[in-house]
Amino acid sequence: MSAAPPWLAWERAHVWHPYSTLQDPPPVFAVESAAGVRLRLADGRELIDGMASWWSAIHGYNHPALNAAVEDQLGRMAHVMFGGLTHAPAARLAEILVEVTPAGLEHVFFADSGSVAVEVAIKMALQYRAARGEHGRRRLLTLRGGYHGDTFGAMAVCDPVTGMHGLFRGVLPEHVFVPRPEVRFGAPWDAADIEPLVAAVDAHGEELAAVILEPVVQGAGGMWFYHPEYLAAVRRVCDAAGLLLIADEIATGFGRSGALFACDHAGIAPDILCLGKGLTGGYMTLAATLTNAHVADTICGAEPGVFMHGPTFMANPLACAVARASIELLLADDWAAEVGRIERRLAAGLAPCRALPQVADVRVLGAIGVVELHQPVDMRVVPQAFVDRGVWVRPFGRLVYVMPPYVTDDADLDTLCSAIGAVVDGLPVP
């Protein structure tokens, strides 16, 4: 094992990490390289990656086909502005997105990150209302326990308690929230679950532009898996009330929940769909917001006649090229079989955690495994404990969870699960 890299101490004092402090920050681990499902630390240790870099590295790291796509594109051009110019990588990516996403989504807006894709989706819904002269319909309806990103528009539809609404009160627009769905994925459906949403639409329908939600899997807001019938019911309610449905599949897209898109569990198509994270196989930041002809035609058919968004790095060619290659790779493999294998292995491997007094719940869906604890973990201690066991698992709050790359083999899945069992077993008993 070699020593910590010389720049690490300076970096810790000067560089912000996600949701972190600069005053005596918790440890960060320097990664030198990554290949397959292994992260190689600067000190020579190797970790099995349980996080797929926050849902994104679905094929693992340093994949030859994805590297080749980037290198090939790099030889032509790394970037070119998208205003007035276009390129094959954007066209070819849009084409495959329209093909694989739920029916009717045929127009694509490329954004720089998941949060921006959500901003774009919200803006589409608001421009749609403005185009129809429905200026009173400016609020969104969403679910508690949701997470949609860290920019202001996205934050406003995150869970009001965990989503920093207190900190930014008076700045964030105030939207309408309903309780999160209670019926779990796999449990018998109970139609009463949809009643709070129906009541909220009855009460606020005239001021609502759209419903926005994470279909079936609520990610960073609580790692909660709800019944697809809820989603199907939301679609029906939206249709009856003339509301647009925005599905944020930034975390769930590209197979993670066991369906190619979580909307597929319910057999529904949203009016607006947000994609990100796994879109580029985790290679670089890119997101997309898709919509149907009705929304696009409405926006473009009224003043100002254009959609009002256009970031500098829109449709970055490197990102588009690797995204197309990643989707082709996914479809060429039997991704559903691999995700199903991971689901069974995680379910078996995490089941013993149920017996631990620290554990409130264990749930698995697709390639997502969650151990919910009674108490939040100490982030100065727990990530280090996982590293000491040769795995990369980064919990948040009361949730210890994994969403490994789809190429993770059974032996590595077992190591991840046994590390979780051992680390949780070592936590204080509440």
* Positions that interact with ligand PMP (CB under 6 A): 54, 113-115, 118, 147-149, 214, 219-220, 248, 250-251, 276
Residues 6+ apart with CB under 8 A from 125: 140, 209, 210, 212, 244, 246, 272
Q: Are 424 and 400 in contact (CB under 8 A)?
A: yes
Between 251 and 339, whose beta carbon lies closer to ligand PMP?
Answer: 251
User: In the bound complex, what is the minimum distance in angstroms from residue 18's beta carbon to ligand PMP?
Assistant: 9
Minimum separation from the CB atom of position 116 to ligand PMP (A): 7
Residue number with the smallest Cβ distance to ligand PMP = 114
| Closer to ligand PMP by Cβ: residue 285 or 408 | 285
Smallest distance from ligand PMP to CB 12, Å:
22
CB of 212 to ligand PMP, least distance (A): 10
DSSP at 317: H
Active site residue: 147, 226, 283, 401, which one?
Answer: 147
DSSP track, 75-128: TT-S----SS---HHHHHHHHHHHHHSSTTEEEEEEESSHHHHHHHHHHHHHHH
Using CB atoms within 10 Å of the CB of residue 418, give its burial: 0 to 12 exposed, 13 to 18 middle, 19+ buried: middle
Q: What is the Cα–Cα distance from 58 to 406, expressed in whole angstroms? A: 6
**Residue 215 or residue 421: which is nearer to ligand PMP going by CB?**
215
- Among 339, 279, 255, CA closest to 66: 279
Nearer to ligand PMP, 149 or 317 (CB): 149
Which is the catalytic residue, given 49, 112, 159, 248? 248
Pairing of strands 287-292, 359-365: unpaired
Q: Which two tokens stand for residue 214?
A: 């994470």
Could you tell me the smallest distance in angstroms from the CB atom of residue 132 to ligand PMP? 27
Cβ distance to ligand PMP smaller for residue 219 or 281: 219
Q: Tell me if residue 414 is catalytic.
A: no
Active-site residue, 361 included: no
The DSSP annotation for 187-229 comes to: SPP-GGGGHHHHHHHHHHGGGEEEEEE-SSEE-TTT-EEB-HH
To the query of whether residue 128 is one of the catalytic residues in this protein, the response is: no
- Examine the residue annotation and report whether 277 is marked as an active-site residue of this protein: yes
> Distance (Å, rounded) from C-alpha 219 to C-alpha 95?
28
Q: Which of 55, 359 has the CB closer to ligand PMP? A: 55
Q: Centre a 10 Å sphere on the Cβ of residue 167 and count the other Cβ atoms it contains.
A: 9
According to DSSP, residue 23 is labeled: S
Least separation, in Å, of the C-beta of 242 and ligand PMP?
Answer: 25
Catalytic residue among 61, 112, 277, 406: 277
The pair of structure tokens assigned to 150 is 């860290």
Please state the closest distance from residue 118 (CB atom) to ligand PMP, in A: 6
Nearer to ligand PMP, 234 or 250 (CB): 250
For the annotated catalytic residues, the residue numbers are 19, 147, 248, 277
